[in-house]
Chain A
Amino acid sequence: MNHHAFLLWWGRIFTITIKELKQLIRDPVLLLIIAYFFTIDVYMAGSGINLSLRNASVMVIDHDHSAASRELIYRFRQPYFDFKGEISGKNEAEQLLNKGQILAVLDIPENFQRHLLQGQPETVQFQVDTSNTVLGTLVTTYAMEITADFGQDFVGKQMGINTDPMAALPVIQNRYRVLYNPNRIDSWFMSIMELLTVITMLSMMLPAAAAVREKERGTIEQLTVSPLSSLQILLPKVISMGLVILFGVAVCLFLIIIPFFHLPVRGSISLFFAVTALYVFTASGIGLFIATISRSLGQVTMLVILLMMPILLLSGAWTPPEAMPQVMRWGMVISPLSYYNEMAYAILLKGAGIDILWDSILGLTVLGAVFFNFGVWRFRRQFG
């Protein structure tokens, strides 16, 4: 290819890219929605969502009314629990649990304090609403920890086992350090996760919509009789939508996530954007493939959602890979989001560089090349 042909080739790409951008700008509702996704949507996911336990409402049936029972109740407090008061009997408890007004009931038996003082083993009952298992499990775990601690402290104090200078007893002290996000701030995780979901959705949807719209309106015929090659028709759609998405990511990162959630960016921002561009390219490849097998936008939407759900679920963003069955862990190999997800968190939170991430970058590049070429090949067969 000589110099002139090279310029001509890219000149055509440039012209069509401008055309795509103009078309997008003329749909103000769509632009508004894209802006919403990159700003308010990510902000809300980051600010309001907490995956850990907060304020679980608990009520108590206290049959003992002693100093010990009061002290135990007092330990069920914020941030994990929200003590809603005492109730008299089991029936009332059941009704409140049924209605979902409270999550758990603590039932302290008679002679609670006396048994503890006499050194007899004692049990308190705890009824938990487990219709939401995540919540039910967390509530139970915390309640167990609280009661066990209380029992040890109470008896220790009474029996004169001196628990204060721990050094005098043969125990292991549990010292843990949570790395990368020491205070376990959910908003760091949630806002990035929502951003990745938004990127996935838009980079599959927007190029696919741009391509299938030409088919629906018949303008594709005009493009195919022009001197443009299949690649020159499809690539500008990916480039233009990719530019819009990268711009959105920049807005989201610099105007929402960093200022509002104080995300400490530990790695290289340019590496993050490079990886994002690679991912957008890969996901648009899937979008283009969908566009070639659909005839209308209705079909595109259905197929995008159909493919997007497994991609999201196999990414490790919704469900930690540790919680997946083995078959699904293997499935993660072909979900482009699983590579991108890993890299995005590694770059932003762990400060990882190319030396550590090269294998994920390679995996994503291979997937991207396969998807994109497959999309172009299908398109060429249809219109070429």
Chain B
Amino acid sequence: MNFTRIWAVTYKEWREIFRDRLFFTMAFVLPISIFLVVGFGISFDVEKITFAVLDQDNTAMSRDFLHRFIDSRYFDYKGHVQSEREFDPLLADSDIRFAIIIPPRFEEQLLSGQATSVQSLIDGVFPYRAEVAKGYVSAIIANFNAQSLADHLARKRGITKGQAIVQVSPLRLESRYLYNQALRSQWSISSGLMMLVLMVAPPFLTALGVVREKENGSIYNIYASTISRSEFILGKLLPYLLISCLNILILWWLVMHVFGTPFKGHPLFYYIASVIYVICTVGVGLVVSLLVRTQVAAVMLTIVLSFVPAMLYSGLLVPIESMGMATQVESHLFPTFYYLRITWGSFLKGLGWVELWFDVAVLVSYALILGVIGFLNFHKRPAE
């Protein structure tokens, strides 16, 4: 190891990055803008579901029941229709996401102590939204039923309404939300995005930096020089690593001050863990750059290895518990999974070294393995 030579490569690389103004700006702008766009853009708090109504009863009670939907902030009322057939084009064109049909004799049946039924048609194209919409509908109906039943019992048995309510719903679940009491999805998503952004930006920069030399042919200068393999790799990666270490701090600041997410853990521990993670992601870029010859291929392969697992298999958007067996195994193969646990543990749960050492150890071994793969695959005398 000769530090002068490492420094020479680093300095050359740095000059090259700095002279490409667009590239240099993007090295900082890209992570921040991905972060802001996704942070503000992703939300699973479904509200204002559009719906239309067919009221075949048209009585005081049916209108009272419908107003529970119309007044709810979860629904967005789009009007009444006259026949069931009118729903089809509205649903097909996504003008409404669900339809509710109140049968004739709705009020009459309920008042005479009989059951009635309300039909809803839900657009199932986006299963998550369908699930949520179904949940809201069930909740409104259950609420209506509890009142109707309590009234009925109170009248029939001659008990007070309070007693009747206990009989109708005797058991209650009291939930305590740990780590994120107000259930703000922005807290989990914004901190989780550290994982996504640091997985996406560094490998691209690194992979392009190396493959560019291959495609331009300037790599032959390196092959012909006295520099050793590990010196070249280290020198080449250092600038990208430094940029990313700075980006960690910028993103961290954004998470706390733009999204208002609290940081409950140990700052030094989290920063060290983040730097190790960035070494992993830069390492992914290195390995990619050694496998391909052209820059387009490098970009595509980086997306396969970084973007897709970070988005789908890390646990950020899709719960790991809900995955199939094979996908669960796959999610454990990428460093994103472990770093997300470290991030949420540090930001929201206030955990530190004691609880998270295993995840850090996995990241360290990941970085080592990637380094070794990179070292073994970089040859100064490439086979033609």
- Which residues of chain A have a CB within 8 Å of any CB of chain B? 27, 29-30, 33-34, 36-37, 41, 44-45, 47-57, 82, 97-100, 103, 116, 119-138, 140-141, 143-145, 147-148, 150-152, 154-155, 159, 161, 166-182, 184-186, 189, 201, 205-206, 209, 213, 216, 294-299, 301-303, 305-306, 309-310, 313-314, 318-320, 322-325, 328, 342, 345-346, 349-352, 356-357
Contacts and interface: CB of A to CB of B under 8 A. Distances in A.
B23 interface: yes
Contact of B114 (A100, A134, A167): A167
- Of A131, A161, A180, the most chain B CB neighbours within 10 A belong to A131
B185 interface: yes
Given A131-B344, A169-B113, A297-B208, A189 B127 contact: yes
Nearest to B351: A98
Interface string B372-383: 000000000000
B299 interface: yes
26 contacts: A29-B292, A33-B297, A37-B300, A41-B308, A48-B330, A55-B321, A121-B171, A123-B171, A124-B171, A130-B177, A133-B183, A133-B187, A151-B172, A170-B110, A170-B111, A170-B152, A171-B115, A171-B149, A177-B122, A179-B124, A189-B127, A205-B300, A298-B23, A302-B26, A303-B26, A350-B92
Nearest to B101: A175
B41 to A, nearest CB: 4
B149 A48 contact: no
Nearest to B350: A98
B92 A129 contact: no
B117 interface: yes
Given A134-B188, A136-B183, A176-B121, 19 more contacts: A29-B293, A51-B128, A51-B318, A56-B321, A57-B321, A99-B355, A124-B171, A128-B178, A130-B177, A131-B178, A137-B44, A140-B173, A151-B171, A172-B145, A177-B119, A181-B130, A182-B124, A299-B23, A322-B47
A49 B20 contact: no
Q: Ordered nearest first, which 9 A-B pairs have the shortest CB separation?
A: A48-B327, A151-B171, A313-B41, A181-B124, A50-B322, A178-B124, A302-B26, A173-B117, A297-B295
Interface residues of chain B: helix, strand, loop or mixed (majority):
helix
B301 A47 contact: no
B95 to A, nearest CB: 10
B129 A305 contact: no
B319 A134 contact: yes
A351 B112 CA distance: 43
A191 to B, nearest CB: 12
Contacts of A213: 296
B138 interface: yes
B178 A132 contact: no
B30 interface: yes
B345 A356 contact: no
Interface in B237-259: none
Contacts of B1: none
B123 A323 contact: no
Contacts of B117: 172-175
Contacts of A301: 204, 208, 295, 299
A152 B208 contact: no
B158 interface: no
Contacts of A57: 321
Interface string B87-124: 00101111001000000000001111111111111111
Interface residues of B, number: 130
A128 B109 CA distance: 41
Contacts of B153: 161
A41 B300 CA distance: 12
A125 B178 CA distance: 12
Interface stretch (B2-10, B31-39, B270-278): B31-39
Contacts, number: 386
A1 B124 CA distance: 52
A98 B124 contact: no
B120 A176 contact: yes
B349 interface: yes
B48 interface: yes
B322 to A, nearest CB: 4
Contacts of A181: 124-125, 127, 130
Contacts of B169: 148, 151-152
B318 A50 contact: yes
Contacts of A27: 293-294, 296-297
Contact of B204 (A171, A205, A305): A305
B384 interface: no
Contacts of A49: 312, 318, 322-323, 327
- Of B114, B176, B184, B300, the most chain A CB neighbours within 10 A belong to B300
A129 B148 CA distance: 35
Contacts of A124: 171-174
Contacts of A319: 41-44
B341 interface: yes
A148 B139 CA distance: 11
Contacts of A175: 117-120
Nearest to B171: A151
A363 to B, nearest CB: 13
Interface string B9-27: 0000000000010110010
Contacts of B183: 130, 133, 136-137
A179 B40 CA distance: 30
Contact of B118 (A56, A169, A172, A322): A172
Contacts of A123: 171-174
Contacts of A154: 170-171
Nearest to A331: B41
B333 interface: no
